[in-house]
Amino acid sequence: MGMGVLGRDAADALARIGFDVAGWSSTPKSAAGIECFAGAAQLGAFLARTDVLVCLLPLTPQTRGILNRKTFTQLARDGKLGGPVIINAGRGGLQVEDDILAALDDGTLAAATLDVFGTEPLPADSPFWTHPKVTLSPHNAADTDPDAISVYVAEQMSAFERGEALINVVDRKFGY
């Protein structure tokens, strides 16, 4: 879920190593070798063919809580892992944490790998720490190199001063 810069990169990498990859986003996208779905009308079809759901969506009013029981029950149940699996490396607000725990406990989900949470850092008493079907990761996949980010900021400032378009600008219409 999510076919922006991060989602597209992840989808391309998974496809290159042999996974049957599909992508879903709020607006239509295309990617060579990847079946793409878009919008609410195609979400069900995307979920029905997906047994490992990787979520890299931005957090917007439309995506808040999208990882919920309704979503989990629509996932394909015929995958090689014995049931649907979710991986959320997007934002904590995308997931309904009580729904994840309940779905893991009743078998709706076979496993979950979570990188983000509604409350961060994750409280010491969270059941995610000890749940046997949960893998936690520390949300530090991208390390910012101080030299590289300094060059990037300087290039953005120079482009602004020249009246050129900036890159990676938040679009308030989309909320990210």
Q: What is the pLDDT of residues 51-102, one digit of tens each?
A: 999 999 999 999 999 999 999 999 999 999 999 999 999 999 999 999 999 9
In the set 16, 77, 91, 131, the catalytic residue is 91
What DSSP line would sit under 104-161, residue for residue? HHHTS-SEEEES--SSSSPPTT-GGGT-TTEEE--S--SPPPHHHHHHHHHHHHHHHH
pLDDT value, residue 96: 98
pLDDT value, residue 143: 67
- Residue 176 in this model has a pLDDT that exceeds 70: no
- Please name which of 4, 2, 31, 3 lies closest in space to residue 170, comparing C-alpha atoms: 4
- Please name which of 155, 110, 108 lies closest in space to residue 132, comparing C-alpha atoms: 110
pLDDT value, residue 141: 61
Global confidence as pTM: 0.85
All domains of the chain in start order, with CATH:
5-143 (3.40.50.720)
Is 139 noted as a catalytic residue in this protein? yes
Is 91 noted as a catalytic residue in this protein? yes
In the set 8, 69, 139, 172, the catalytic residue is 139
Over the stretch 131-172, which tens digit does the pLDDT of each residue have?
Answer: 999 999 987 766 678 888 899 899 999 999 999 999 888 777
